[in-house]
Chain A
């Protein structure tokens, strides 16, 4: 306790701020109990007085009304409970330091030794950052009077003359933003803003920040900062808020709508903000640099989200463990979880470092996610020689993610691919947690899922979108296999969540659509599941179909199902033996919790293996990929059950313990096998093979204007390939293939014409194959590995071999352009469109498969290609409106389902 002042030289008027429509009697009582007797006490924000205290409408009215001899105004929010010496401490330190604004140390009303705030730092965006952990205990470690950026609005002393000079608080702002605004404006006027730790105030938990807080902070920024600062701080806040909106859902918060609403509010109130800005910046003594001195670097919002993520991981796992009662799993779980997370990051480090290998179907994202979405919504598929056919929904998911993530291909790929590895581990731990497995076993199973033998085979297939889908799938299974709520709202929310998660996974790889339903069925069959889980899975799966339109309604599903080949999976015998040992061990000594899981694992693993090895009996590559994902789940379940059973039998001796240890040995081998994915750091993907086709640097024309004919094995060619009598080839843009180029549509007239050219090549008909290829815009021919076409290339008169390149590469001597105006000018690819010099009198030849929807007209088919007018300087494909409508519906599905899920869980 601070000693009492000898006198009360500075009269203080106290403003108790009503919260809602009431004022806490405890707050009034605490004010009245102050040893430093206030000159007057007022209730602000109520129409009528409370407990004999006069009411006043707004704080600014009080500022104007209090007599001039009042030196300070003490703002105390209802609910706060100042200790008796709080006011005296505030006044004493304010007087001593000459501060204009002084704040209190806030302690938790329910745990008075827990710190809530000792002054507040903010970032440049005005987002408060206390720097305290949620369980920080007050040990006097922060008890020093110091300058701070902002004082908490729940207890704030301000000099009356300063308050008058500042024009009071901003009436448009809520409490905390208002305090921020007031402190910042005070500092610009030269006033010190300090925190007085000896002025202790007990406070209740503050409600969650709302959009009003965010809106207030934006308004405060707009009022205070100079033009130069505003020029970067507002856009940065816009981006930081967007990032926060993307990450926050993973820690259970939805900030997107608050974010949007806050910005809309500010746009609406912009005139008022501008007026307030003039007043705020008038007569300032300092510039923005003075404000920056008390601010933290970076974004406090993102720091908070990061801290929340860490907290969630840290707090959640021990909490789950605490219910398990296995000390051996409890103790290492935090370390184990961290190690697995680090290993997962290492396993996917290529994604984080923007060095993802370009090989097979693992390709970079296109420059613009919007272009991909436009193509998905009935646009022109530019892969190969182009097609109006519907592209795969995985591209729409990736395009949407890219669009959200600043339309940056690198960031999107890092977040989607790198993030999905972590999400996959987390999802598996969550899935098996719901099936009764301790988190430590769950995270090990998660590691095996994302980096185990099946994941390695999946990576070797190079189907990146399947890897991403596999990361989402455990979440869908967790939703399916979790308990079904009793209330109807809860049930609806459950179905919505199942549908959404299943839909996202299926949109990335539609063959995974039935997996949650089948998993629920198997779980039911092994005796742990309930029919209600199956029903939820069935309805959710049916609802998940909404994610697949318009692909579902337009694509050749039969053709898709029977398409593609991937390397035949030959799992190591050691892996199979290890899995078998683990499962048999669990089945022998497991209890009602682990034995069904082992049974589920066995069925899943065997089903996955059969699918993955079924090419010889006519199963397609699609089935094999789905099989690998399912087998990965089976292996993960085997590890989870084996580790769990070893923990369960820790205190048992004899054969049971021995069997459990044998099972653990099998699981250990499976965990160790992840090193083959972790060490290379590419999620199992093969090494990059893009170097031979990276010809953009040597291209004399813009690489978007030409194509490369790639020859080689099916494994080496980027994306899908065309087949000519068993030999593979395809065309890609010289600018480099992207995910948009991965899948080739059904062959059309141009593809048949190109096949005829390949026939001409191998028939040795003529020696000017370059002239024929130039008609397709092919400026380069690259043999990416051994190709039966290669011997025929060196005898061509118009293919110039390029020296010094890693693979045989030929430049087509005749000028090759994908799009060319009548006067020979090049037009360049822009997404799926082509742009060039506008000329009302000219025409543009487009070397893409003929389709009458190319604009602007009049359209004319020239052989297999198109010719349109050059009048607009842009040649574009008129989207298929029905498919675009369906794409919008799919987007609505994508947005609405999680809202239903959230609302159902909140209000159900």
Chain B
């Protein structure tokens, strides 16, 4: 009997133990941080940059701009529409603090030449331009920075299919698998449908002529939803003379524009709210007097792009910051406007009739400031680096010419202001370092040609 009791106690104790044993902690899959979709950020490791634009034909030539902080080996691949085996590849090595310019025509001429550029170390970045050289300098230049990350949803503002404008959306799929992209858009009339999703073959591109798909719209902003695969989109605006090329972005609540035009280069900021709710925009002016906070305030309905002349926001602003209560995208379109009669004398109370002189440039906004920037291509020919300091204290900015023997140049950018720093054509890129986070872009102007380029923030 005693044995039975003891046994019973052992069993009961065991049962209690079994009942009270804690369940092991549930195992959950880790979530590895993915790169910010769609942003052009130069990391410290190897990277691949996708350049959707670029043309190499009997008229235009493309220049690939590469810039790096450490010594790198670079591989440039131009996928062929005829299959992966026929891709053209160029390889190059750059020393530390190096930069280079590669003329695509040295390798191939087949019209549109989207490409991908692989660096085996970083920070490094790439940009691409298309140029038409004339006897009096450049007749045309357009270009933009490349993208180091892709997104399933892209947005791009600032397009127009007004009379005389050709607007092409280039969808570059650098990956092996087919991509399916659903387009939706918005114009001054509201939502703009675009039919069935578009297939983009792997390692290929597809140009969508929006001038045909959505004719005679003053403002056309696009949202691209990638349902399969991945693409890198860019807009190409051609008004008969110069071209503007700018890349799609993600959404942000702030957008900085270190440059909004000068003189007869008139800039318009276009803000696009893909929805779903209305947002309120506050646009700060950056100028010699510091920040003009909320210089202009707008309510922005979804799917109603807002285009506003920079000069209408502030007469003296040389840069802008767009702040929004919701995620939006924003771009700057710059046109050259000159008096119709060059010899006309301004008369008070009368407006001088302005006409486009053909210069055209566009760039997406800078979503966040950074203390270090890479500017591939800046200085490949005489350029201007635009720095916006949105902080409350002056920023000391150092410009380091990459691939050049030029000494670094220090510039003090006042608080809430911008600086336009001309740089000579001596290298192939710049490294901009600041003691405070700043926003940077750069531009090229030569003859009748004008282009705006994004700078690439360096991921710290």
Q: Are chains A and B native binding partners rather than an unrelated pairing? A: yes
A interface, CB within 8 angstroms of B: 525-527, 565, 568, 570, 587, 595, 599, 602-603, 606-607, 609-610, 613-617, 713-714, 725-727, 762-768, 786-789, 791-792, 794-801, 813
Which among B10, B45, B202 is the interface contact of A765 at CB below 8 angstroms? Answer: B45
Closest to B7 in A: A599
Given A603-B7, A725-B30, 6 additional A-B pairs, CB 8 A: A526-B3, A527-B3, A599-B7, A606-B18, A609-B18, A765-B46
B175 touches A797 (CB 8 A): yes
Which among B11, B35, B47 is the interface contact of A606 at CB below 8 angstroms? Answer: B11
Which among A568, A714, A726, A795 is the interface contact of B23 at CB below 8 angstroms? Answer: A568
B24 touches A763 (CB 8 A): no
Interface: B82 (CB within 8 A): no
Q: Which residues of A contact B229 (CB under 8 A)?
A: 794, 801
Which among B7, B31, B174 is the interface contact of A526 at CB below 8 angstroms? Answer: B7
B24 touches A800 (CB 8 A): no
Which among A613, A713, A767, A788 is the interface contact of B32 at CB below 8 angstroms? Answer: A788
Interface: B251 (CB within 8 A): no
A766 touches B120 (CB 8 A): yes
By DSSP majority rule, is chain B's interface helix, strand, loop, or mixed? loop
Which residues 1-33 of B sit at the A interface, judged by CB distance below 8 A?
A: 3-4, 7-8, 10-11, 14-15, 17-18, 21-24, 27-32
Which among B3, B17, B29, B150 is the interface contact of A713 at CB below 8 angstroms? Answer: B29
Given A766-B120, A791-B34, CB of A607 within 8 Å of CB of B14: yes
User: Within the complex, what minimum Cβ distance (angstroms) separates A872 from chain B?
Assistant: 36
B24 touches A565 (CB 8 A): yes
A797 touches B174 (CB 8 A): yes
B30 touches A727 (CB 8 A): yes
B176 touches A798 (CB 8 A): yes
Q: Which residues of A contact B32 (CB under 8 A)?
A: 725, 727, 762, 788-789, 791-792
B21 touches A613 (CB 8 A): yes
Q: Which residues of B contact A726 (CB under 8 A)?
A: 27-30
Interface: B88 (CB within 8 A): no
B48 touches A787 (CB 8 A): no
Q: Which residues of A contact B176 (CB under 8 A)?
A: 797-801, 813
Which among B24, B47, B116 is the interface contact of A616 at CB below 8 angstroms? Answer: B24
18 contacts between A and B (CB under 8 A): A525-B3, A595-B4, A603-B14, A606-B15, A610-B14, A725-B30, A727-B29, A763-B45, A765-B45, A765-B46, A766-B46, A766-B48, A786-B29, A788-B31, A788-B32, A791-B32, A800-B202, A801-B176
B175 touches A613 (CB 8 A): no
Q: Which residues of A contact B230 (CB under 8 A)?
A: 794-795
Interface: B118 (CB within 8 A): yes
B21 touches A616 (CB 8 A): yes
User: Within the complex, what minimum Cβ distance (angstroms) separates B202 from chain A?
Assistant: 8
Give 1 or 0 for each of B421-456: 1 = CB within 8 Å of chain A CB: 000000000000000000000000000000000000
A568 touches B7 (CB 8 A): no
User: Within the complex, what minimum Cβ distance (angstroms) separates A638 from chain B?
Assistant: 12
Interface: B177 (CB within 8 A): yes
List the 5 closest pairs (A to B, CB-CB), nearest first: A606-B14, A616-B22, A766-B46, A765-B45, A726-B30
Q: Which residues of A contact B118 (CB under 8 A)?
A: 766-768
Q: Which residues of A contact B47 (CB under 8 A)?
A: 764-766
B30 touches A617 (CB 8 A): no
Instruction: Please give the number of chain B residues whose Cβ is less than 8 angstroms from any Cβ of chain A in the complex.
Output: 40
A587 touches B174 (CB 8 A): no
A603 touches B10 (CB 8 A): yes
Which residues 26-79 of B sit at the A interface, judged by CB distance below 8 A?
A: 27-32, 34-35, 43, 45-48
Which among A526, A599, A614, A713 is the interface contact of B21 at CB below 8 angstroms? Answer: A614
User: Within the complex, what minimum Cβ distance (angstroms) separates A192 from chain B?
Assistant: 75
Closest to A613 in B: B21
A797 touches B48 (CB 8 A): yes
Q: Which residues of A contact B17 (CB under 8 A)?
A: 610
Give the distance in Å from the alpha carbon of A594 to the alpha carbon of B24 in the complex: 37
Q: Which residues of B contact A798 (CB under 8 A)?
A: 176
Q: Which residues of A contact B34 (CB under 8 A)?
A: 764, 791-792
Q: Which residues of A contact B177 (CB under 8 A)?
A: 794, 800-801
Give the distance in Å from the alpha carbon of A607 to the alpha carbon of B14 in the complex: 7
Closest to B179 in A: A794
Closest to B32 in A: A762
Give 1 or 0 for each of B115-134: 1 = CB within 8 Å of chain A CB: 01010100000000000000
User: Within the complex, what minimum Cβ distance (angstroms) separates A792 from chain B?
Assistant: 7
Q: Which residues of A contact B29 (CB under 8 A)?
A: 713, 726-727, 786-788
Closest to A631 in B: B18
User: Within the complex, what minimum Cβ distance (angstroms) separates A824 from chain B?
Assistant: 17
Give the distance in Å from the alpha carbon of A219 to the alpha carbon of B174 in the complex: 75
A617 touches B22 (CB 8 A): yes
Closest to A715 in B: B27
Give 1 or 0 for each of B340-374: 1 = CB within 8 Å of chain A CB: 00000000000000000000000000000000000
Closest to B77 in A: A797
Q: Which residues of A contact B27 (CB under 8 A)?
A: 714, 726
A603 touches B21 (CB 8 A): no
Give the distance in Å from the alpha carbon of A835 to the alpha carbon of B7 in the complex: 62
Which among B14, B46, B150 is the interface contact of A795 at CB below 8 angstroms? Answer: B150
Given A603-B11, A606-B18, A613-B21, CB of A795 within 8 Å of CB of B175: yes
User: Within the complex, what minimum Cβ distance (angstroms) separates A583 from chain B?
Assistant: 8
Q: Which residues of A contact B28 (CB under 8 A)?
A: 726
Q: Which residues of A contact B4 (CB under 8 A)?
A: 587, 595, 599
Give the distance in Å from the alpha carbon of A39 to the alpha carbon of B150 in the complex: 110
Give the distance in Å from the alpha carbon of A788 to the alpha carbon of B175 in the complex: 20
Give the distance in Å from the alpha carbon of A286 to the alpha carbon of B193 in the complex: 91
Give the distance in Å from the alpha carbon of A294 to the alpha carbon of B4 in the complex: 67
User: Within the complex, what minimum Cβ distance (angstroms) separates B31 from chain A?
Assistant: 6
Q: Which residues of B contact A768 (CB under 8 A)?
A: 48, 118
Q: Which residues of A contact B23 (CB under 8 A)?
A: 568, 570, 616
B45 touches A602 (CB 8 A): no
Closest to B18 in A: A609
Closest to A800 in B: B176
Closest to A791 in B: B34
Q: Which residues of B contact A527 (CB under 8 A)?
A: 3
Give 1 or 0 for each of B172-205: 1 = CB within 8 Å of chain A CB: 0011110000000000000000000000001000
Q: Which residues of B contact A801 (CB under 8 A)?
A: 176-177, 229
Given A603-B11, A765-B46, A788-B31, CB of A797 within 8 Å of CB of B116: yes
User: Within the complex, what minimum Cβ distance (angstroms) separates B83 from chain A?
Assistant: 12
Q: Which residues of B contact A607 (CB under 8 A)?
A: 14
Give the distance in Å from the alpha carbon of A120 to the alpha carbon of B17 in the complex: 66
Q: Which residues of B contact A800 (CB under 8 A)?
A: 176-177, 202
Q: Which residues of B contact A615 (CB under 8 A)?
A: 24
Give the distance in Å from the alpha carbon of A526 to the alpha carbon of B27 in the complex: 41
Closest to B177 in A: A801
Q: Which residues of B contact A791 (CB under 8 A)?
A: 32, 34
Closest to B12 in A: A606
User: Within the complex, what minimum Cβ distance (angstroms) separates B230 from chain A?
Assistant: 6
User: Within the complex, what minimum Cβ distance (angstroms) separates A629 from chain B?
Assistant: 16
Closest to A618 in B: B24
Give the distance in Å from the alpha carbon of A859 to the alpha carbon of B44 in the complex: 38
User: Within the complex, what minimum Cβ distance (angstroms) separates B141 from chain A?
Assistant: 29
Give the distance in Å from the alpha carbon of A768 to the alpha carbon of B24 in the complex: 38
Give the distance in Å from the alpha carbon of A395 to the alpha carbon of B31 in the complex: 36
Closest to B49 in A: A767
Give the distance in Å from the alpha carbon of A173 to the alpha carbon of B46 in the complex: 83
Q: Which residues of B contact A617 (CB under 8 A)?
A: 21-22
Give the distance in Å from the alpha carbon of A527 to the alpha carbon of B5 in the complex: 13
Give the distance in Å from the alpha carbon of A665 to the alpha carbon of B15 in the complex: 21
User: Within the complex, what minimum Cβ distance (angstroms) separates B167 from chain A?
Assistant: 28
B175 touches A602 (CB 8 A): no
User: Within the complex, what minimum Cβ distance (angstroms) separates A651 from chain B?
Assistant: 25
Give the distance in Å from the alpha carbon of A794 to the alpha carbon of B175 in the complex: 8
Q: Which residues of A contact B8 (CB under 8 A)?
A: 587, 602
Q: Which residues of B contact A606 (CB under 8 A)?
A: 10-11, 14-15, 18
Which among B7, B24, B175 is the interface contact of A796 at CB below 8 angstroms? Answer: B175
Closest to A570 in B: B23
